[in-house]
């Protein structure tokens, strides 16, 4: 189990020796430094040890990189998709199983570890990146160095590939609410595994009373020709569910309401009752909205109005006699099938008795 430790001066040196695309991409991200407060201390501090240790970094690098994030606070989410580095566009789609795994591995972390990291697996397509699986990777982190067990990560990836060969390494995740200098180093590791990896943070320390989930991709920034810093630009995070996943999550969510966080699987009619209660809630919300609009409290919105009209029109108008016949024939079918099932069961029970004689 090799745990390679990384010298802190490595990353700032490599972007300086990066080939021609570096200056081109440096100019593109410069006008979109939206997350100014959080990531900018990171590159500034990573270039500090570089200034101390590396020989190629000019001392004038630090003030030169400082004005770059301080430029126009244009929103990074508007405008056309950025050309170049990020392969899938700007949307990351997460499945809930990823987040549950991350939280679970955070709960099982070693003594003294402040956060856990791991690899994200999934697929890339034209418009977005879909993360479907993940596994945690043991690592050690201290003030001045970080060690990640890359052998382990490779092995786990091989094992996972046997089950789902379509999954690629997309990036990595970390718990905790901020991006630290070590994140830059770990991100460097992962850039060797995947082209332009994503970094996902899950805030398990619940700052601001929320568990914020954010995704970033790294972009180079700074003055071209000099030592480049690394900046993390945020991406939109969306949650996708398979249908069955949605149903599973709805069920698991019920543990939030029970006192000891335990629920049992409900029986058939209870489920129908539960689903109807949900629809009732939805209907009462819609009714409340309609009342508010009528009494003038809320201004009417045409789109919502159109939806409401299509909703009301969807209730089919059936002649009562036809409905009676349909209902009765359906009920007869179901009753007959129930009778047959009961008959079959008693038949095989009889068979047992006879055979055992």
Partner 1 sequence: MASRKEGTGSSAASSSSTTGAAGKGKGKGGSGDSAVKQVQIDGLVVLKIIKHYQEEGQGTEVVQGVLLGLVVEDRLEITNCFPFPQHTEDDADFDEVQYQMEMMRSLRHVNIDHLHVGWYQSTYYGSFVTRALLDSQFSYQHAIEESVVLIYDPIKTAQGSLSLKAYRLTPKLMEVCKEKDFSPEALKKGNITFEHMFEEVPIVIKNSHLINVLMWELEKKSAVADKHELLSLASSNHLGKTLQLLMDRVDEMRNTSKQQQQKHQYQQRRQQENMQRQSRGEPPLPEEDLSKLFKPHQPPARMDSLLIAGQINTYCQNIKEFTAQNLGKLFMAQALQEYNN
Binding residues for partner 1 restricted to 214-253, rule: CB under 8 A: 239, 241-253
Task: Considering the complex, state which of residue 127 and residue 278 has its C-beta at the smaller distance from partner 1.
Answer: 278
- DSSP assignment of 48-86: HHHHHH-SS--TTHHHHHTTTTTS----TTSSSPPPSS-
Rule CB under 8 A: is residue 144 a binding residue for partner 1? Answer: no
Contacts of 287 (CB under 8 A, 6+ apart): none
Strand pairing partners for 121?
133, 169
Integer CA distances (angstroms), 150 to 142, 172, 196, in order: 17, 12, 18
Rule CB under 8 A: is residue 280 a binding residue for partner 1? Answer: no
Strands 146-148, 168-175: pairing is unpaired
Rule CB under 8 A: is residue 210 a binding residue for partner 1? Answer: yes
Terminus-to-terminus CA distance in the chain, angstroms? 64
Number of residues that bind partner 1 (CB under 8 A): 88
Rule CB under 8 A: is residue 156 a binding residue for partner 1? Answer: yes
Give the ranges where 72-220 is alpha helix by DSSP (H).
Answer: 96-107, 150-163, 181-193
Task: Considering the complex, state which of residue 71 and residue 332 has its C-beta at the smaller distance from partner 1.
Answer: 332
Segment near partner 1 (CB under 8 A), from 39-47, 132-140, 226-234, 302-310? 132-140
Nearest to 173 by CA among 83, 95, 75: 95
Distance (Å, rounded) from C-alpha 113 to C-alpha 352?
Answer: 60
Binding residues for partner 1 restricted to 246-275, rule: CB under 8 A: 246-253, 255-256, 261-266, 268-269, 271-272, 275
Report in angstroms how near the CB of residue 35 gets to partner 1 at its nearest.
Answer: 19
The length of the chain is 357
Report in angstroms how near the CB of residue 169 gets to partner 1 at its nearest.
Answer: 16
Report in angstroms how near the CB of residue 303 gets to partner 1 at its nearest.
Answer: 16
Helix (H) or strand (E) holding 122: strand 117-124
Q: Which of 56, 207, 288, 330 binds partner 1 (CB under 8 A)?
A: 330
Distance (Å, rounded) from C-alpha 307 to C-alpha 317?
Answer: 19
Rule CB under 8 A: is residue 105 a binding residue for partner 1? Answer: yes
Q: Are 45 and 203 in contact (CB under 8 A)?
A: no
Q: Which of 20, 312, 315, 354 binds partner 1 (CB under 8 A)?
A: 315
Segment near partner 1 (CB under 8 A), from 190-198, 217-225, 289-297, 318-326? 318-326
Rule CB under 8 A: is residue 124 a binding residue for partner 1? Answer: no
Rule CB under 8 A: is residue 312 a binding residue for partner 1? Answer: no
Count of C-beta atoms within a 10 Å radius of residue 270: 10
Rule CB under 8 A: is residue 101 a binding residue for partner 1? Answer: yes
Task: Considering the complex, state which of residue 38 and residue 251 has its C-beta at the smaller distance from partner 1.
Answer: 251
Report in angstroms how near the CB of residue 204 gets to partner 1 at its nearest.
Answer: 6
Task: Considering the complex, state which of residue 27 and residue 351 has its C-beta at the smaller distance from partner 1.
Answer: 351
Rule CB under 8 A: is residue 91 a binding residue for partner 1? Answer: no
């Amino acid at each position: 189990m090799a745990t390679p430790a990384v010298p802190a001066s490595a990353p700032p040196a490599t972007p300086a020796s990066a080939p021609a695309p570096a200056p081109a991409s440096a100019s593109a991200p410069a006008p979109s430094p939206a997350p100014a407060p959080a990531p900018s201390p990171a590159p500034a501090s990573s270039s500090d040890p570089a200034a101390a240790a590396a020989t190629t970094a000019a001392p004038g690098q630090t003030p030169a990189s400082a004005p770059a994030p301080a430029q126009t606070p244009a929103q990074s989410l508007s405008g056309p998709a950025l050309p170049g580095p990020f392969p899938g566009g700007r949307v990351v789609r997460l499945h809930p199983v990823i987040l549950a795994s991350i939280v679970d591995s955070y709960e099982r972390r070693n003594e003294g570890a402040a956060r856990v990291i791991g690899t994200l697996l999934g697929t890339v397509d034209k418009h977005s990146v879909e993360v479907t699986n993940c596994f945690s990777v043991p690592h050690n982190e201290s003030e001045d160095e970080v060690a990640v067990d890359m052998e382990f990560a490779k092995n786990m990836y091989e094992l996972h590939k046997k089950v789902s060969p379509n999954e690629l390494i997309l990036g990595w995740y970390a718990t905790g609410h901020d991006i630290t200098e070590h994140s830059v180093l770990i991100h460097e590791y992962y850039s060797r595994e995947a082209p332009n990896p994503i970094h996902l943070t899950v805030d398990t320390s619940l700052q601001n009373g929320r568990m914020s989930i954010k995704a970033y991709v790294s972009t180079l920034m700074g003055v071209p020709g000099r030592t480049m810093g690394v900046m993390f630009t945020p991406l939109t995070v969306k949650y996708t569910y398979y249908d069955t996943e949605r149903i599973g999550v709805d069920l698991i969510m019920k543990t939030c309401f029970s006192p000891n966080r335990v629920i049992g699987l409900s029986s058939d009619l209870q489920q129908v009752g539960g689903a109807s209660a949900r629809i009732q809630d939805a209907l009462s919300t819609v009714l409340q909205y309609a009342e508010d609009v009528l009494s003038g409290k809320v201004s009417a919105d045409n789109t919502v109005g159109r939806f409401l009209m299509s909703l009301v029109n969807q209730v089919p108008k059936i002649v009562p006699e036809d409905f009676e016949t349909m209902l009765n024939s359906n009920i007869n079918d179901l009753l007959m099938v129930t009778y047959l099932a009961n008959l079959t069961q008693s038949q095989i029970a009889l068979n047992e008795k006879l055979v055992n004689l």
